[in-house]
A and B are shown apart, each in its own frame.
Chain A
Amino acid sequence: MARTIAVASGKGGTGKTTVVACLAAVSSEPLAVLDCDVEEPNLHLFLNADWQPGQPVTVPVPVVDETRCNYCGNCRLACRFNAIAVLPTGPMLFPGLCHGCGGCILACPYDALSEVPRPIGSMRTGRWREHVVLDGRLEIGEAKSPPLIEAVRQAAPDDRPVLIDAPPGTSCPLVSAVRGVDYVVLVTEPTPLGRHDLALAAAAARQLGLPTGVVINRAGSNDELITSFCAEQGLPVLARIPFDRRIAAAYAQGQLPVEAVPELRPLFAALAGRLLIPAAKPAGASREQA
């Protein structure tokens, strides 16, 4: 079975998208590359894919057939999310609060409730070089991204390794993006803030039982902040991307850093080999000397 690798971070802006785009650019085998940061999808700015038209992604929400409703209020009692109020004029539904659990449908004794799809965003597929690229885009004003993240993951082809650009943070969007993957790469930067958030993201990955490694971005004289944490936690340091203004400039313009700064190529080729080729399992690989 093909491997699935997620690139995540805890803290935002540490370089997840840079790592994903560069790995895709140097990978010697075709990948499925997924942008699961659906609140702020940015991968498309770096991988100039020929996109197919977007497809809406929906969640089921209840609607009421007023001719059948008896105002009994069972649906309201079943709903733990306050998404249903029953007024003297009939039930009122708040789709934005609905989690799509179906509890109200099961609770209705009169078959007065059914479900309709409500769009929460869109996803699309494209080709970039030999890779299949997918991204999701949450509708503005929509609060819950996990169903969209799951839809993007489910649409990935299963005949090739999958590389996921995960959302920042440590809560439910991250869990949706990384649950069940084979390996999590946490990208961090050598600052106290980077270390603090790396610890939170590593704790989330550990709770999910996922093997994890660390990439230090903007590496330099303060790397000890991160390498000491990794040594304590037994996390391998997979790569160090040096601090280089040219990388920042390439990123700022939406250029691939591996193409703007060719010396980065061997670094990412080695990382791709280590992560994406099943024979070179990162968990068993030797650790870089801290």
Chain B
Amino acid sequence: MKQLLVISGKGGTGKTSVTAGLASLAAPVVLADCDVDAANLHLLAGDGITDRQAQAFSGGSLAQVDPAGCIGCGLCSELCRFGAIHLQPTGARQIAVVDPLGCEGCGVCIDHCPTLSISEVPRQAGELIDGRTSRGPLVWGRLEPGQPNSGKLVERVRSRAQAIAKQHQHALVIVDGPPGIGCPVIAALSGIDLALIVAEPSASSLHDLARVVELATRFRTACAVVVNKADLRESASEQIEGWCSRQGVPTLGRISYDVVFSAAACAGRSVPELAPAAPAARELAVLWERIQGQLG
């Protein structure tokens, strides 16, 4: 089984539209949407999602104070380095109160409470969801707003997708990655056969591309670049391709800026499904062929 990751560094360069396009060309395929903060691939699922099932994702733990036992000594708030627990006047006394969005689940308050009045509870951090689409199985994560541990949820989404691929003998998993270079991206990179980086011809994209290529290199992941919206600014597209060639990063083609992408998004489909004759659809087909070449 091979795993293809689609990332970008900078957000909004067209990862999800490219992923959906590749998925419809590669079908049947297993899809894993690892942009767990803001998963979008299921919005471009084509003919809809059947057999949808969700399971709770609990990421780490949270401190919980038993108000009956709390003597208001304030030691917890003194020791917490995240400012996540403080005393609050409650009736005639002071009681410790946890701020769930600040709590890291480190357990320092729990371990040092003199009356053992703080306990650890699992944090309901989101959901792991999967279903069937016309292109194959789709797995995605939904992190509750403001929750930590997005990297852990990425790992869960990926291992579920891999298990499905093994069970149904799929040869390829396509992973739609998160923006940035932080923990969810690092979690998305492990064990990937090829990271396809979607760039666009802007100063920001080139800057962010360099950082994400360095990250992939550090994790010894092969990467390749496609320039999306390439005709918006020819000179910058050439600059990106020149930079890639100097770095030894293969470029697998260009995709034109085309309103058919927003039409497809509004229709909940991919470009090859909505407009197979559009230039962008043909460019995606060329890209898919070259990716297969890279994956071997």
Q: Which residues of A contact B (CB under 8 A)?
A: 9-14, 17, 39-40, 42, 45, 78, 80-81, 99-103, 106-107, 138, 140-145, 167-175, 179, 191-193, 196-197, 200-201, 203-204, 207-208, 222, 245, 248-249, 251-254
Chain B residues closer than 8 Å to A248, beta-carbon distance: 232
Chain B residues closer than 8 Å to A204, beta-carbon distance: 145-146
Interface segment, B127-135, B173-181, B272-280, B284-292?
A: B173-181
CA distance A22 to B104 in the complex (A): 36
Per-position contact with A for B225-245: 1 when CB-CB < 8 Å, else 0?
A: 000000011001000000000
Q: Per DSSP, are chain B's interface residues mostly helix, strand or loop, or mixed? A: loop
Contact yes or no, A193 B43, CB < 8 A: yes
Knowing A12-B179, A14-B12, A42-B204 are in contact, say whether A102-B101 is a contact too (CB < 8 A): no
Interface residues of B in 121-172 (CB under 8 A from A): 143, 145-148, 150-151
* Contacts beyond the supplied A12-B12, A141-B219: 17 A-B pairs with Cβ under 8 Å: A10-B37, A11-B12, A11-B40, A12-B179, A13-B10, A39-B182, A40-B181, A42-B204, A78-B107, A78-B111, A101-B107, A140-B214, A140-B215, A169-B178, A193-B43, A201-B145, A208-B101
Contact yes or no, B148 A171, CB < 8 A: yes
Contact yes or no, B37 A103, CB < 8 A: no
Contact yes or no, A80 B11, CB < 8 A: no
Of the candidates B37, B207, B236, the one having the most CB atoms from chain A within 10 angstroms of its own CB is B37
CB distance from A109 to the nearest CB of B (A): 13
Contact yes or no, B104 A101, CB < 8 A: yes
Knowing A13-B11, A102-B79, A171-B146 are in contact, say whether A207-B101 is a contact too (CB < 8 A): yes
Contact yes or no, B268 A102, CB < 8 A: no
Contact yes or no, B10 A101, CB < 8 A: no
Interface residues of B in 71-121 (CB under 8 A from A): 79, 81-82, 101-102, 104-108, 111-112
Contact yes or no, A106 B40, CB < 8 A: no
CA distance A203 to B146 in the complex (A): 9
Q: Which residue of B lies closest to A144 (CB)?
A: B183
Contact yes or no, A39 B207, CB < 8 A: no
Contact yes or no, A40 B146, CB < 8 A: no
Total number of A-B contacts with CB less than 8 angstroms? Answer: 180
Contact yes or no, A191 B179, CB < 8 A: no
Contact yes or no, A101 B81, CB < 8 A: yes
Contact yes or no, A193 B265, CB < 8 A: yes
Contact yes or no, B37 A81, CB < 8 A: no
Knowing A11-B12, A191-B265 are in contact, say whether A253-B203 is a contact too (CB < 8 A): yes
Chain B residues closer than 8 Å to A172, beta-carbon distance: 146-148, 150
Q: Which residues of B contact A (CB under 8 A)?
A: 8-13, 16, 36-38, 40, 43, 60-61, 79, 81-82, 101-102, 104-108, 111-112, 143, 145-148, 150-151, 178-186, 200-204, 207-208, 211, 214-215, 218-219, 232-233, 236, 262, 265-266, 268
Knowing A11-B40, A13-B12, A42-B10 are in contact, say whether A169-B107 is a contact too (CB < 8 A): no
CA distance A249 to B235 in the complex (A): 12
Chain B residues closer than 8 Å to A173, beta-carbon distance: 180, 182
Q: Which residue of A lies closest to B150 (CB)?
A: A171
**Pick the contact of A207 from B145, B150, B202, B265 — CB < 8 Å?**
B145
Of the candidates A17, A192, A248, A252, the one having the most CB atoms from chain B within 10 angstroms of its own CB is A252
Contact yes or no, B104 A168, CB < 8 A: no
Contact yes or no, B204 A196, CB < 8 A: no
Knowing A168-B37, A192-B265, A200-B38 are in contact, say whether A251-B202 is a contact too (CB < 8 A): yes
CB distance from A267 to the nearest CB of B (A): 21
Chain A residues closer than 8 Å to B183, beta-carbon distance: 143-144
Query: What are 28 A-B pairs at a CB distance below 8 A?
Result: A12-B8, A13-B11, A40-B211, A42-B10, A42-B203, A42-B208, A80-B105, A80-B106, A100-B81, A101-B107, A102-B108, A103-B107, A106-B111, A140-B181, A141-B186, A141-B215, A169-B37, A172-B146, A172-B150, A175-B101, A179-B101, A201-B38, A203-B145, A208-B146, A245-B232, A253-B233, A253-B236, A254-B204
